């Protein structure tokens, strides 16, 4: 009987499942299976998942995290791209009637449609996942830009990427990813996870990030896309001054330089600053001012 077996995320059971199905973890799909029950439970606890909640998972693998979510949540819908894992998940999760696996690439999925079809609308919706690391950024950007409203997002990623997401202005890790993510959500590191907790072991350590999407912003940029491309442009040469980067974005013609100066005077932001010194609010102010000045 399945319910007499140790839980999926125990090292013994993980190894038994991999052997039984002769599974070789696919590097190209970022397959590193988390095999530590305490860590798995702590991930679910970081999302404060309870029986009112609907949960989306990305990349269930052999079902270790899915099982821990299913034990606490109302319902789990998990997207898995690798069809070879479908028979495995059918067996490992057969006791959990509140789990639905969708065999689809998360980057191609129509998330709002899936949420409307699979979940009752009046329950909190959360995202909990051990992400495939090769697509961490596109997944998070897609999720945070979609119309689906998540109450909490708890995801595991490479520790170095997690450091960039939470980085403050003036630090080495601060860059366009920090600004764009912090614009969309309150971001914090919940805890770190050593590489030894996975089978097979990856070459990097990991961290759990908790994102709480923002409902309102103190200042609104006139357009998100414009803000994002402006921020990326400002960090194109992070060793150079803001003044140099702005000329890189808008051009060096005397008339353009004059308008750049007007914006810098209006906003009171020094042209000598390096982009890594600018706060999220500075970037929003500059985006709006350059828009008003007709430069974007
Ligand atoms: N959740 C499991 C765990 O914690 O042990 C497995 C996590 S593993 C790091 C990432 C999973 O994401 C793999 O199962 C992989 O096949 C799946 N995956 C990779 N790319 C994907 C994509 N584009 N869409 C959906 N799933 C994907």
**Within 13 Å, how many C-alpha atoms sit on residue 195's CB side?**
9
| Residues 229-255: tens digit of each pLDDT | 999 999 999 999 999 999 999 999 999
Decide if 109 contacts 79 (C-beta within 8 A): yes
Which residue ranges of the chain lie beneath pLDDT 50? 1-2
pTM for the full predicted model: 0.94
Burial of residue 207, with CB atoms counted within 10 A of its CB: 0-12 exposed, 13-18 middle, 19 or more buried: buried
Domain spans in the chain, listed from the N-terminal domain onward: 11-212, 224-292
Q: What is the structure's pLDDT at 3? A: 53
pLDDT in tens, 90-122: 999 999 999 999 999 999 999 999 999 999 989
Q: Is 1.10.8.100 the CATH classification of the domain at 224-292?
A: yes
CATH classification (class only), 11-212:
alpha beta
Residue 62 token pair: 């052999």
Token digits of residue 272:
């000598």
Pocket lined around ligand 1, Cβ cut-off 6 Å: 29-34, 58-61, 64-65, 79-82, 105-107, 130, 132, 135
Ligand 1 centroid distance, CA of 56 (Å): 13
Which of helix, strand or coil describes residue 281? helix
Distance CA 126, CA 212 (A): 10
The answer to whether the beta carbons of residues 237 and 248 sit under 8 Å apart is yes
């Amino acid at each position: 009987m399945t319910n007499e077996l140790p839980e999926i995320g125990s090292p013994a059971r993980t190894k038994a499942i991999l052997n039984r199905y002769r599974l070789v973890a696919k590097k190209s799909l970022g397959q590193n299976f988390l095999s530590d029950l305490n860590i798995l439970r702590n991930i679910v606890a970081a999302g404060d998942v309870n029986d009112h909640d609907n949960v989306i998972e990305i990349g269930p693998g052999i079902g270790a995290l899915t099982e821990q979510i299913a034990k606490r949540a109302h319902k789990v819908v998990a997207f898995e791209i690798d069809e070879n894992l479908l028979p495995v998940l059918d067996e490992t999760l057969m006791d959990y009637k509140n789990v639905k696996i969708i065999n689809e690439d998360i980057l191609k999925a129509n998330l709002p449609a899936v949420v409307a079809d699979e979940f009752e609308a009046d329950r909190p919706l959360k995202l909990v996942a051990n992400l495939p690391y090769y697509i961490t950024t596109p997944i998070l950007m897609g999720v945070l830009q979609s119309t689906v409203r998540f109450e909490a997002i708890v995801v595991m990623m490479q520790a170095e990427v997690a450091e960039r997401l939470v980085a403050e202005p003036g630090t080495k890790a601060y860059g366009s990813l920090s600004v764009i993510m912090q614009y969309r959500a309150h971001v914090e590191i919940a805890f770190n996870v050593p590489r030894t907790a996975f089978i097979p072991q990856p070459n990097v350590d990991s961290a759990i990030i908790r994102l709480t999407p923002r409902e309102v912003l103190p200042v609104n940029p006139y357009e998100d896309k414009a803000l994002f491309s402006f921020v990326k442009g400002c960090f194109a040469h992070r060793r150079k001054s803001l003044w140099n980067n702005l000329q890189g974005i808008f051009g060096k013609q005397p008339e353009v330089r004059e308008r750049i100066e007007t914006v810098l005077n209006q906003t009171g932001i020094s042209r000598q600053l390096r982009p890594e010194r600018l706060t999220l609010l500075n970037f929003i102010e500059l985006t709006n001012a350059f828009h008003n000045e007709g430069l974007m």
